[in-house]
Structure 1
Amino acid sequence: MTPDAVAVAVMIILLFPMSYFTLASPAFLLVRLDIQPVAQLLRGMFNAHFLVMRVAGVIATVALLLDGHLLAALGGAVIAALAIWGRPWFMQRFDDQLSARDAGDAEAARRLRRLHWSGMLGNAVLLVALVAGIPYVAMPA
Structure 2
Amino acid sequence: MRPDAVAVAALVILLFPMGYFLLASPAFLLVKLDIPPVTQLLRGMFNIQFRMVSVAGVIGTVAFIFAGRPLFAAGVGLIAVVAIWGRPWFMQQIDDQLSARDAGDADAVRQLRHLHWKAMLCNAALVAALVASIPYVAISA
**TM bracket, shorter-chain basis:** over 0.9
SS in 2 for 1:4: helix
1:3–1:138 Cα contact (<8 Å) kept: no
2:140 alignment partner, SS class: coil
Are the aligned partners of 1:21 and 1:49 in contact in 2 as well (CA < 8 Å)? Answer: yes
Tell me whether 1:115 sits opposite 2:99 in the alignment: no
Question: In the comparison of the two structures, how many residue pairs are matched?
Answer: 140
Superposed CA offset, 1:25-46 (max 9, x none):
0000000000000001000000
Aligned to 1:124: 124
For residue 3 of structure 1, report the CA deviation from its aligned partner: 9.4
Taking the TM superposition and a 5 Å limit, the aligned residue runs for 1:1-141 are: 4-141=4-141
User: How many Å apart are 1:11 and its aligned residue?
Assistant: 1.2
* Partner-residue secondary structure (3-state), 2:110: helix
Distance 2:94 2:115 in 1: 7
Alignment-mate amino acid for residue 122 of structure 1:
C
Q: Give the aligned residue type for 2:119.
A: G
Q: CA deviation at 1:89?
A: 1.0
For 1:75 and 1:13, the matched residues in 2 are separated by 15
Listed one character per residue, the Cα deviations across residues 26-67 of structure 1 (whole Å, up to 9, x for unaligned) are 000000000000001000000000000000000000111011
Give, in whole Å, the separation in 2 of the partners of 1:125 and 1:85.
Answer: 19
Task: Write out the 4+ residue segments of structure 1 that deviate beyond 6 Å after TM superposition.
Answer: none
- Percent identity among equivalent residues? 69
CA RMSD of aligned residues (A): 1.3
Report the Cα offset of residue 7 of structure 1. 1.4
Distance between the aligned counterparts of 1:3 and 1:10, measured in 2? 10
